[in-house]
Each structure stands twice: as structure tokens, then as C-alpha cells.
Structure 1
């Protein structure tokens, strides 16, 4: 958790999250008891959902009775982490989901902003959501979305940045584009979550993002509930770290940020161009692996 004060998480958020998890477990059991009828009903519902038109490119059909959620990220608008998250939020049927995300990968852009340069904005297609892709950074995306120049609203209930491919805890938070998106929302006075999935090259796969969505949805629902009640902690953002193989984890843990950092390993490389120059390559894999061994986020869902 990042906060301007050393606040503990309020009991209300923990209680709400536990209740959501219990309801989800009960719902899953009820679906299993339904057997074939439940499966058939689900298939029909999915078929009906697939025929619904996309609301992207239009704000005329926005249901003002539902709270607005803004989603951004650092990996780019086409990344599976963002797409699966947005689609799941739309299926929840509880929110008006809006997306303003980078056009390309800005995952290590930090809290950078674009100055003295025109930013291009184009509509994007994500079923059930109003979405725009932006040529700038995650901070640019959140700043633009909250300005009132792009959407008909200027302050959503919650800003969600993610789901990022790779961890964003410890000192890496300062480099992380996904955390910067949530931090910009915090600076603008809007509650925010940053969500990252620990990614292992030889172990992780795209379907892990779907599992990560199912893990973090209860937290999102609990957070929106507390915001509505006015008991969500002010002046803070929640940085959610989901370990590799999300469904194998048995719970969640509130903790403080660790102080780990990766150790860059610069090496000289040869190049034919500009022979008088010195060309260097940053090889971070060893330092990153060593750093992962000593951090708390490798064993539990960290908020």
C-alpha cells in the first residue's frame, strides 16, 4: 500500500472482501449443484451477452445509475491483462466501464508526462466499454480521462491500473507505468488500485491473466463498496501483487512495500555503426531473479 500517512487498512475493507469471497464460494457451490441445467443456463446467458452491441465509441447509452470505473494500464490497450479485466467488469453488470490506456507498451515509463508534443487519441473496441487508446504514457491517459475533455464525467468512483505483466513492488514501483497510472489518480483525488501479475518466462501463460482477474474482482467489488460508504482509506492507493499461478493461492495478505531492487548488469557489446562509440547492453535477468528470492510478494497476494 502506498500512502502519505502510515495508515492501517480499515476493518471495513477486510470485512467486505471476506464477505465477497464467501459469497463467491457459495455461488460456485450452487452452480456445481445445478449440474447440466446450470451449464445450459450459463451457455444461454453467454450467448445473449455475445449478441449485445459494443458501447465503444459512444457515451450516449451510459447508465448514470451505475458508478463509473476508469481502467488504464502500462502494457498497452491490447494487452490481455487489461482486456480480460475490462470484459470481466462489464460482465459484473455493476459498473459503467471506461478505458483510457496507452496505444503501445509503456510499462517502464514511470511517472513521465508528455510535454510540448501533441497526443493522439483514437477510439478502441472493447465490448461493453467506452474505450480510447492514447499515444502518451499511463499518466497522460489518467490525466486526460480525468480532465473532462474526453469523457462526459471528470471523476470516476475508482481508477484501476492493470493487470500488468510482471511484478511492480519494491523499488520497481518508481519505474512502473502501471503504478504511475494509479498514482496519478491518487494525486487527482480519485481512489485507485494498481494490479500486477508476477510473470515467469517459462511458467506463466496468457490464461493466467483470466485467473488473476477472478482473484482481484472480489477486492475491486469490496473497494467500490467501501468507497460508496465513505470508509475507503483516503490519500492512498492499493498496489495489488498477484503471484504466479493465481488460483493456487489460498488468500490475501496486507503488507508494506519491501525495499528490494533489481541490480542492472551492464555489458559492452559490439556494433558496426559509429565504431568510435561505446555500446552497452543492460542485462537485468540475474539481478531480478536474485531480488525475487527475498521479497514477500512471491508467496502471497500483497495489497
Structure 2
């Protein structure tokens, strides 16, 4: 009798849904984060913790010396728990783990960013820094970006990419600090040739500060620049995107230059 009761109880118990934490740097009302939520509906319990205002280019900044505010909102429907914060994207991940979920989620998704986060942009990106913060905590993470800066960008193809990738890796055993930087070209779904695993290109902005005058005649400066690719390889994220492939770059937060470390140890330069 006891065995039958245990079996019946086991049948009634439902498998716990994976928790999907979603954040971004374009703010909680952006079309990109809504598209990200829509792309993974049905794959798990979705919890959104995102900034209340745009935080692009914040990198891995955290809030120190100022209070953080967090308010529950309902921007995505009753089936999605969502919170907006006064903090940075990295703050959002920290608050989510400590104060909202009270545990690590099964996966963290950041984006979908309005604009590219390929090549050197990964160092400045609030989108990728949020994903990286989660990875530091041992949470499998992916940052998604669409190469369209327009507010009303078409996220149709991006949503398909997100759904395909998250479905493929959710509930899989992954390496401890699993972190991907995914960029999606501007193209309709039928024009995207596939997904390429890439390296980060050596490409950067040749920057210039445009000097201007405000209405009071005082000088101010506006950052401008031209993007230049110095890496002509066909295994880079820039090449993949230019040729209508989705680029996937595995990222790590260990910035140690191991080759230079060996050289310095061998040379005894500082001894």
C-alpha cells in the first residue's frame, strides 16, 4: 500500500520549471527585451529584472554610495514576474539573485540589444556585462544583440534565433562559466544563412570628439567615430555578420594574457 501511495504522489508532482532570468541595458520598456521575453515563453518561469532607464555603454559598472530602488511592474503580462530598478545592468543581476529569486536561476538572458555588440564592443556593453555577471556567479548566460539601432527594429529573426538556441541548451549540463555573445544580422529569417561559432574580431572605433556650442555659447563634446575592422579572417564575428550569419562568440571574464605571462616569467624583467 505504501509503495502505491508513493508512486501516486510521484505521478502528481510536476517537474519544476527552469527559471529564466531576463535583463538588458536598453531599459525595461524597450522592444528588444519584450521580444526576448516573447521568444522564450513556454520554456520556463520567466523573471525580468531590468533598468528603469537606458544604460547602454555602462559596461560592468555597479552602484556604490547611492541607494538602489526596485519596484514590481507588470509590463509583460501576469505570467511574467517583472521588476524595474534604478541600477545598472550588473546591479539588476545582483538584485535578482539576492532579493527577487533568492537563488541562482537556471539561465540568464540579456538583451535583445538594439545595436551591435561584436568585436571590441563587448568591453563597453551593458548587455554583455549583465550576462557576464551572471556567468561569474556560475549561471549559464547569453547576451543577444541585433545589428539594428532603431527603436522600431524588426526582431522577427532575432526571436527565432533566441528560441532555437535557448531550447537547445536549457536543461543541458554546461561548463561552469558558460557565456555566449550572440549577434544577429539585419535580415529576414529566410536570408540568414545559419549560425557560426566565431572568435572576437580585432575591430574598433576610430573615435573623435565633435566640439559644439550649447545655446549659451559654452563648449560641449559629442563622441563620434568610424568603425574599422583590422581583422580580415573569416572566423570572426564581424565577418559572419557581414555575410548574414548569426555570430556566436564564447566569452570568458579571465583577462589574463597567458602568453605574455610566460614571456615575463622567462625574461625575469622585473627581478
- What TM-score do the two structures reach when normalised by structure 2? 0.77
Instruction: Give the conservation status (yes or no) of the 8 Å contact 1:76–1:106.
Output: yes
Instruction: Give the conservation status (yes or no) of the 8 Å contact 1:292–1:298.
Output: no
Structure 1 equivalent of residue 95 of structure 2: 144
Distance 1:69 1:292, change over 3 A: farther
Instruction: Give the conservation status (yes or no) of the 8 Å contact 2:156–2:188.
Output: no
Structure 2 unaligned spans of 5+: 1-13, 233-237, 249-271
Structure with the higher fraction of residues in helix conformation = 1
Q: Does 1:96 align with 2:45?
A: yes
Distance 1:185 1:246, change over 3 A: farther
- CA shift for structure 1 position 94: 2.8
Structure with the higher fraction of residues in strand conformation = 2
Structure 2 equivalent of residue 281 of structure 1: 222
- CA shift for structure 1 position 71: 0.3
SS at match of 1:122: strand
SS at match of 1:262: strand
Which of 152, 157, 161 is the aligned partner of 1:211? 157
How many residue pairs get aligned? The number is: 225
Ranked by relative contact order (alpha carbons within 8 Å, sequence separation 6 or more), the top structure is: 1
Q: Does 1:112 align with 2:56?
A: no
- CA shift for structure 1 position 235: 2.3
Distance 1:223 1:283, change over 3 A: same
Q: Does 1:242 align with 2:184?
A: yes
Instruction: Give the conservation status (yes or no) of the 8 Å contact 2:40–2:166.
Output: no
Q: Does 1:298 align with 2:242?
A: yes
Instruction: Please give the alpha-carbon distance, in whole angstroms, between the structure 1 residues aligned to 2:39 and 2:178.
Output: 25
- What TM-score do the two structures reach when normalised by structure 1? 0.69
Structure 1 unaligned spans of 5+: 1-62
Structure 2 equivalent of residue 251 of structure 1: 194
Aligned ranges 1:1-303 → 2 under 5 Å:
65-90=16-41, 93-125=42-74, 126-127=76-77, 128-147=79-98, 149-151=99-101, 153-199=102-148, 205-206=152-153, 208-226=154-172, 230=173, 232-247=174-189, 248-273=191-216, 275=218, 278-284=219-225, 287-288=226-227, 290-291=228-229, 295-296=238-239, 297-299=241-243, 300-303=245-248
